[in-house]
Structure formats: C-alpha cells, structure tokens
Amino acid sequence: MEFTDGLVLLRPLEPADVPAIAAACVDSEIARFTTEVPQPYSEAHARAYVAHAEREWAAGQQRPLAIANARSRAFLGAIEVRLSDPGSIGYWVAPGVRGQGVATRALVLLSRWAVTEGHVERLELTTHPENVASQRVAEKAGFVREGVLRSHIRFREGRRDSVLFSLLLSDI
C-alpha cells in the first residue's frame, strides 16, 4: 500500500529506514511532543519500530507508514492511522524537513484514505498543547479543532492535556 501526491510518498517502513529513523528520533522536539518515542533513542529502537510496524500491518488495524520523498523514496518521517471507531492518526517528521509542508501532505493523503476507503467514520488527532506547529498541520489538512482534553495522556512527566481535532467525511 503506497500513496503519493507526486512530492510526498507514504510507503511501508523498511529496514533501510533504520539509520534515518534513529537520527530523527534523537531530536528534542520529537521527544518533547510524543509519548511513544523512547529517550535516549538508538538504532535498536528504530529496528524494533520497523518490526512493530510489520506486525501491525499483519494484524490489520493499524497502518504505520514512512513519509518519504516521492522521487528518491528517502525517509522523511512517519505517520500511522488506527482503523478503529473512532480512528486516530499521528505523525512526526525529521527536523530537516519541518516547515516544508511534508507533514501536511502526508496527513492529507492518509486521512483522506482512512475516511473514504478505510471505513473510519470519525478520525481523531491529538497534539500536545504547546505543539502549535502540529496544530497548524492538522488545521491545514482540514481537521476541526474540538477542544482540550484535560489530563488526557500519561506522559513522561505525568499526565498532560491534549488538543483534540477530528476529521469526518463531510469535512473533506
């Protein structure tokens, strides 16, 4: 399963992505705003992540994908959709490609597929309250901000709030 808009390609994660995943995930912003990226991060973590992605594909309810350059297939980040009720989606991009529209393009590609072909009637996205860049990505991709979920997620420092966004078929 691959998706592209001609500039961004969403493709399965590959063992060849491990060095790029490891390099990206040592970034302090990824650590600051995600709950599932261990710190410190190593290539062993990246290998485990790629293996986990393969198992999730086989199980059928989650679709973890690499965000890549459409021409070179070079790894730029990761995105994952959970095909549940409600569905959920999350993403991160490497520091060197932030602010270039990569995350927005990837989010549009996968979220549209989830609500049109993946049978997800409501797709939710949550962000850290201080992650303004990710909130802008969600809004540019057509997600609607619904509010703040108080003490929503257990985080490294304890529980934290989340900003909730959603996308419905009627939003696109």
Q: List the domains of the chain with CATH numbers.
A: 3-171 (3.40.630.30)
pLDDT of res. 53: 94
Q: What is the pLDDT of residue 158?
A: 83
The SS3 call for residue 32 is: helix
- Rounded to 5°, the CA angle 132-37-75 comes to 80
138 secondary structure, DSSP code: H
pTM to 2 decimal places: 0.95
Can you tell me the distance from the alpha carbon of 57 to that of 62, in angstroms, rounded to the nearest whole number? 6
**What pLDDT sits at residue 94?**
97
pLDDT, residue 58, reads: 85
What is the mean pLDDT of each successive set of 10 residues along the chain, which is 172 residues long? 95 97 93 85 96 90 95 97 95 96 98 95 96 97 97 85 96 88
pLDDT at 27: 92
Candidates 119, 141, 3, 23; CA nearest to 65 is 3
